[in-house]
A and B are shown apart, each in its own frame.
Chain A
Amino acid sequence: AQTVTQSQPEMSVQEAETVTLSCTYDTSENNYYLFWYKQPPSRQMILVIRQEAYKQQNATENRFSVNFQKAAKSFSLKISDSQLGDTAMYFCAFRGSQGNLIFGKGTKLSVKP
């Protein structure tokens, strides 16, 4: 069975600095997708970034980038120039052949002014 592990329950970062959130996963599949979702206090789940496992190039979306290490089954999220609006729960998720998302337990990120 696939699993997703986020080992950092909480993290904090100063505004304008960079922070990296960790995620590891376990699967025997070769083709899959990985995602980072953000859930602010409004509780709306927002897609941050997506990575296809068959792509070696790390995905980037403006200030958000990932470090995808397929052999190590690691998928960390880097947030550059952190903003107060980045304060949220961040969930790492895996999508394999079954089609459903498997979520990690989340990391609560606080951006401090």
Chain B
Amino acid sequence: GAVVSQHPSRVICKSGTSVKIECRSLDFQATTMFWYRQFPKQSLMLMATSNEGSKATYEQGVEKDKFLINHASLTLSTLTVTSAHPEDSSFYICSAELTGVGTDTQYFGPGTRLTVL
């Protein structure tokens, strides 16, 4: 149980285009999902917290107009990188939180490698 999928796993796009990444909790409902960015050989950096039915909360320094997050259902959150540039190339990981007594655990998707040419 507690499986999270992420699609696509890899994407290459041209500079100036937009890219959408989907994160789905397959066997549980998640009120809260998270989006992270990971640079090579570094830890995960939280970009934003996505709450179902409300606006996402962005971390300091993350442009909300560039990284659009939508959490329209209890099993799906999307991250759209708008007008992508080469510096946006990175590994993006989502997680979904399984909540309950004694749980409150984040389960992670497999990640999306974005390359902007």
Partners in one complex: yes
Range of interface residues on chain A?
20 to 34
Interface of B is mostly: strand
Residues of the B chain whose Cβ atoms lie less than 8 Å from the Cβ of A105 = 42-43
A44 to B4, CA, bound (A): 11
Residues of the B chain whose Cβ atoms lie less than 8 Å from the Cβ of A103 = 43-44
A-binding segment of B20-28, B62-70, B79-87, B107-115: B107-115
Give how many A-B residue pairs fall within 8 Å (CB-CB).
45
Contact A43 B110, beta carbon cutoff 8 Å: yes
Contact B49 A99, beta carbon cutoff 8 Å: yes
Residues of the B chain whose Cβ atoms lie less than 8 Å from the Cβ of A50 = 105
A47 to B106, CA, bound (A): 8
Q: 4 shortest A-B CB distances, which residue pairs?
A: A45-B108, A103-B43, A44-B110, A105-B43
Given contacts A99-B32, A99-B104, 12 further A-B contacts (CB under 8 A): A37-B108, A43-B93, A43-B110, A45-B95, A45-B108, A47-B105, A100-B46, A101-B46, A101-B95, A103-B43, A103-B44, A105-B42
